[in-house]
């Protein structure tokens, strides 16, 4: 596997503070902000602070601390959104699009967390 990270992608610019964002949560490992074109009443993107193109890149090359820190941050974002089913929230869907099949637009790993309504089945039938 070989990935080249383009540091001119829009999320890299957000991480450098060159473009504003509507921050929901931030720590050493992750930044979470509201999607600019929400597809659900609550739609937040969580990105790692390191330069990873997508999830398989991150899984292969991030340090253990980054993987754990990013995963814990996703849990904190769910809490900040108030969507954890175990805490009375209505639940959520996590999506990480990669490459052509996933229709990934921004080439910096991001996890979508969507909630605020019942989101329906995950994928449509393909036959």
Which residue numbers are catalytic?
Answer: 110
Among 5, 9, 26, 35, binds ligand AMP (CB under 6 A): 35
Alpha carbon 107 to chain centroid distance? 12
- Is residue 67 part of the contact set for ligand AMP (CB under 6 A)? no
CB contact at 8 A, 74 and 55: no
Biggest alpha carbon distance in the chain?
45
> What is the separation, in whole angstroms, between the first and last Cα of the chain?
31
Tokens of 29: 């490992």
- Is residue 118 part of the contact set for ligand AMP (CB under 6 A)? no
- Is residue 9 part of the contact set for ligand AMP (CB under 6 A)? no
Q: Which listed range, 35-43, 46-54, 55-63, 74-82, lies at the site for ligand AMP (CB under 6 A)?
A: 35-43
Among 1, 8, 18, 37, binds ligand AMP (CB under 6 A): 37
- DSSP class of residue 85 equals G
- Is residue 28 part of the contact set for ligand AMP (CB under 6 A)? no
CB contact at 8 A, 83 and 91: yes
Question: By the criterion CB under 6 A, which residues form the site for ligand AMP?
Answer: 10, 19, 21, 33, 35-37, 45, 97, 103-106
């Amino acid at each position: 596997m070989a990935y080249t990270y383009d540091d001119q992608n829009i999320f890299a610019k957000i991480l450098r503070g060159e473009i504003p964002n509507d921050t929901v949560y931030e720590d050493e490992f992750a930044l979470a902000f509201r999607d600019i074109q929400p597809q659900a009443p609550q739609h937040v993107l969580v990105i790692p602070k390191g330069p990873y193109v997508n999830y398989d890149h991150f899984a292969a090359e991030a340090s253990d601390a980054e993987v754990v820190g990013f995963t814990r941050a996703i849990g904190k974002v769910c809490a900040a959104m108030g969507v954890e089913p175990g805490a009375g929230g209505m639940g959520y869907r996590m999506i990480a699009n990669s490459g052509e099949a996933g229709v990934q637009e921004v080439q910096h790993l991001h996890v979508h967390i969507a909630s605020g309504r019942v989101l329906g089945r995950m994928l449509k039938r393909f036959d």
